[in-house]
């Protein structure tokens, strides 16, 4: 076991010899940093503050990783490596530490190394195996090995990358600082597999996993993650029917979708596919038949779809009616302001 741990530690150290591997999510080149002293000063201030924290908490591995990130921003390779080495020596089995490395490999396009790391973690079993599948899945996706990626996803049953089922989500942000949802990568994987002869079996297995997760212990966070994953998978399935099946079969898919999962789900799918008029039709029916508790929600969502069509007056009318029907005034007021400021729309 000791030899296995040392192998993992040395593997991670080898993979982290470039500053680009230190978890950068608001990526700045060294040239940009040199041209803007404010950026340099900001990163140096962060390093100083973290150094004080480390002095007070010398056994906190994540503090070293955070400081290593800022050293990486400034191309201070030796300092960054010292912090990474220290963090891994403190927590060689800590999933949060491994998560930081896995994210860095993905963003640095060192995806073959990410697959190697995933293989090593899978071989070790237990929680590391769970996370190893996740790392390997994402890095196989990066390598365009979509069949291998979906195999890892289905084997692990990891349909949404939620913190309640393992370590923190692997993809909190991309290099531009934009949030990336784990289920978004899953739907992209499925989209690339539309010509795979096993594609319908993949969808069936994913829906089965979702149902198992839904029937098991859940929290508010995991329930929301499951819902997001369900919608993204259904959107991908809808695109598959529209692209690969006849118009009649696609229409039947949408009819079954409403019958089995309700008009609200179908409206979400239509909206996600930018078919806003159809989403509005379903939401209008829900507004007509819903009880008072759900009415504000449906009005807000219909208003959001009107905004996407640049029908700003109709959107604002829905937001105002939602407030009158008991909706949260802060939410409805923010929606009204955003609608009025919608770029590219003229009233």
Interatomic CA distance for residues 290 and 276, integer angstroms: 20
* Burial class of residue 189 (count of CB atoms within 10 Å of its CB; 0-12, 13-18, 19+): buried
Which domains occur in the chain, in start order? 1-92 (no CATH), 95-244 (no CATH), 274-347 (1.25.40)
Q: What percent of the chain has pLDDT over 70?
A: 74
Asked if pLDDT for residue 163 goes beyond 50, the answer is: no
Interatomic CA distance for residues 107 and 175, integer angstroms: 7
Convert the pLDDT of each residue in 259-318 to its tens digit: 999 999 999 999 999 999 999 999 999 999 988 899 999 999 999 999 999 999 999 999
Q: What percent of the chain has pLDDT over 90?
A: 44
Higher pLDDT, 330 or 16: 330
Convert the pLDDT of each residue in 30-69 to its tens digit: 344 344 556 567 778 888 999 999 999 999 888 887 787 7
pLDDT value of residue 23: 35
Interatomic CA distance for residues 246 and 241, integer angstroms: 8
Please state which of the ranges 97-106, 143-152, 185-194 shows the lowest mean pLDDT.
Answer: 97-106
Say what the pTM is.
0.71
Asked if pLDDT for residue 205 goes beyond 90, the answer is: yes
- Backbone dihedral region for residue 275 (phi beyond 0: left; psi -120 to 50: alpha; all else: beta): beta
CB 188 within 8 A of CB 128: no
Q: Is 298 helix (H, G, I), strand (E, B) or coil?
A: helix
pLDDT value of residue 106: 64
Q: Give the bridge partners for 176, in sequence order.
A: 26
CB 253 within 8 A of CB 270: no
At which residue do the structure tokens 């010899």 appear?
17
Asked if pLDDT for residue 25 goes beyond 50, the answer is: no
Interatomic CA distance for residues 139 and 36, integer angstroms: 34
Given pLDDT bands bounded at 50, 70 and 90, which one contains residue 114? confident
pLDDT value of residue 309: 95
Interatomic CA distance for residues 186 and 338, integer angstroms: 30
Instruction: Tell me the average pLDDT of the chain.
Output: 79
Given pLDDT bands bounded at 50, 70 and 90, which one contains residue 173? very low
């Amino acid at each position: 076991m000791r030899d296995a741990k040392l192998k993992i530690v040395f593997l991670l150290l080898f993979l982290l010899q470039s500053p680009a591997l230190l978890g950068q999510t608001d990526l700045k080149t060294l040239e940009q940093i040199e041209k803007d002293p404010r950026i340099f000063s900001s990163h140096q201030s962060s390093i100083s503050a973290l150094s004080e924290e480390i002095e007070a908490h010398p056994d906190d591995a994540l503090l070293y990783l955070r400081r290593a990130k800022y050293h990486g921003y400034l191309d201070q390779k030796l300092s960054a490596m010292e912090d990474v080495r220290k963090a891994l020596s403190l927590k060689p089995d800590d999933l949060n530490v491994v998560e930081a490395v896995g994210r860095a490999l993905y963003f640095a396009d060192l995806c073959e190394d990410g697959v190697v790391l995933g293989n090593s973690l899978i071989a070790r079993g237990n929680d590391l195996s769970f996370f190893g599948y996740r790392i390997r899945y994402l890095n196989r996706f990066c390598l365009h090995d979509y069949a291998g990626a979906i195999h890892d996803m289905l084997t692990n049953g990891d349909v949404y990358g939620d913190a309640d089922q393992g370590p923190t989500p692997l993809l909190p942000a991309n290099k531009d600082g934009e949030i990336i949802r784990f289920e978004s990568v899953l739907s992209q994987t499925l989209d690339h597999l539309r010509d795979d002869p096993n594609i319908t079996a993949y969808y069936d297995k994913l829906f089965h996993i979702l149902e198992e997760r839904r029937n098991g212990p859940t929290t508010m966070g995991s329930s929301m993650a499951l819902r997001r994953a369900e919608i993204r998978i259904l959107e991908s399935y809808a695109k598959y029917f529209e692209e690969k099946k006849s118009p009649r079969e696609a229409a039947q898919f949408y009819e079954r979708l409403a019958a089995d999962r309700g008009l609200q789900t179908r409206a979400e799918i239509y909206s996600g596919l930018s078919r806003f008029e159809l989403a509005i039709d379903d939401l209008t029916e829900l507004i007509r038949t819903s009880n008072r508790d759900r009415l504000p929600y449906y009005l807000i969502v219909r208003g959001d779809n009107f905004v996407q069509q640049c029908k700003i007056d109709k959107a604002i009318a829905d937001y105002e009616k939602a407030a009158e029907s008991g909706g949260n005034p802060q939410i409805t007021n923010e929606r009204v302001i955003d609608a009025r400021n919608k770029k590219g729309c003229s009233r």
